[in-house]
């Protein structure tokens, strides 16, 4: 992982771990493999790959039998898959925007959140000491997310991984686009409007000001029948970006970044 761990929010879903003995809730290692394949909607041709992916170092016979090597590979596969996804779906974003979005999507918190929502935490094969002492690091669940990705890749190829990541991380990508791709407000507004309002923004020229060689443009974003606060720009492109930023602020109940001035 490239990003650092962050303290979990108070309302974050708690991690549920059970050891592989079956004593806690009847969940032995074989049952965990079955459960995990149901969760990820993929049946392994080589179940030993999944077994390795789910085995934490505390539950492994030796270090190389744990999921650490698969985690290493899964980190790279996750990054490449998300980069390809963003490159294809967001052609209007520059390299800096894409980098910020990708970093947010593949962070430990995002991967850990996805793992817990799927239920991969309950599929982990860990030693008794981990479940008894509850002293495990939260990064443990983001690690298994990556190791399972690597196992699927080795067993079924990149398309198997791509389809599932687009399903599991869709909300994380959309949120990151809105919050991290802020240098392109028009794109962020379009994503928001299409998802939340089933409409596409248009931009209306309200008026122009100044001589021909130094014109300013006042433009407003319009979604459906709602016109948002207009914003000035020294050219139409900048004015549209500012108008989109105002619209996003209004939709989120935030102060206007570009208040209209006479």
Annotation: binding site for Mg(2+): 71, 143, 146
Q: Distance between CA 259 and CA 94 in Å, rounded?
A: 26
Q: Is 121 a catalytic residue?
A: no
Of the residues 19, 75, 97, 172, only one is catalytic, namely 75
* Contact between residue 73 and residue 53 where contact means Cβ atoms under 8 Å apart: no
Annotated binding site: 71, 143, 146
Q: Whose structure tokens read 């995002």?
A: 110
Contacts made by residues 218-225, CB under 8 angstroms, sequence distance 24+: 218/260, 219/243, 221/189, 221/246, 221/247, 223/189, 223/193, 223/197, 223/199, 223/247, 224/197, 224/199
Q: Distance between CA 252 and CA 247 in Å, rounded?
A: 9
Three-state secondary structure call for residue 120:
helix
Closest CA to 221 of 199, 200, 196, 204: 204
Looking at the DSSP assignment, which residues form a beta bridge with residue 217? 208, 233
Of the residues 19, 97, 121, 146, only one is catalytic, namely 146
β strands within the chain, DSSP E: 202-209, 216-223, 226-227, 231-233
Q: DSSP characters for 153-178? A: HHHH-HHHHHHHHHHHSHHHHHHHHH
Q: Is 146 a catalytic residue?
A: yes
Residues annotated as catalytic (active site), given as ranges: 75, 146
């Amino acid at each position: 992982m490239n990003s650092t761990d962050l303290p979990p929010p108070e309302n974050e879903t708690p991690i549920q771990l059970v050891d592989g003995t079956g004593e806690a809730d009847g969940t032995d290692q074989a049952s965990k493999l079955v459960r995990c394949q149901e969760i990820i909607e993929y049946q392994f041709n080589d179940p030993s790959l999944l077994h390795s992916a789910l085995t934490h170092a505390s539950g492994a016979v030796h270090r190389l039998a744990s999921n650490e090597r698969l985690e290493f590979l899964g980190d790279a596969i996750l990054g490449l898959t998300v980069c390809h996804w963003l490159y294809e779906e967001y052609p209007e974003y520059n390299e800096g925007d894409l980098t910020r979005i990708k970093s947010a999507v593949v962070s430990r918190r995002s991967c850990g959140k996805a793992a817990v929502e799927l239920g991969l935490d309950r599929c982990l094969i860990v030693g008794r000491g981990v479940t008894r002492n509850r002293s495990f690091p939260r990064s443990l669940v983001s690690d298994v997310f990556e190791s399972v990705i690597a196992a699927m890749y080795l067993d079924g190829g990149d398309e198997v991984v791509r389809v599932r990541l687009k399903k599991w991380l869709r909300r994380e990508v959309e949120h990151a686009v809105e919050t991290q791709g802020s240098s392109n407000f028009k794109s962020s507004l379009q994503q928001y409007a299409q998802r939340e309002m089933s409409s596409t923004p248009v931009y209306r020229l309200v008026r122009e000001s100044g001589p021909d060689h130094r014109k300013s443009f006042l433009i407003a974003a319009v979604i459906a029948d709602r016109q948002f606060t207009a914003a000035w720009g020294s050219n139409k492109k900048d004015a549209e970006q500012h108008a989109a930023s105002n619209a996003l602020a209004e939709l989120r109940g935030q102060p206007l970044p570009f208040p209209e001035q006479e």
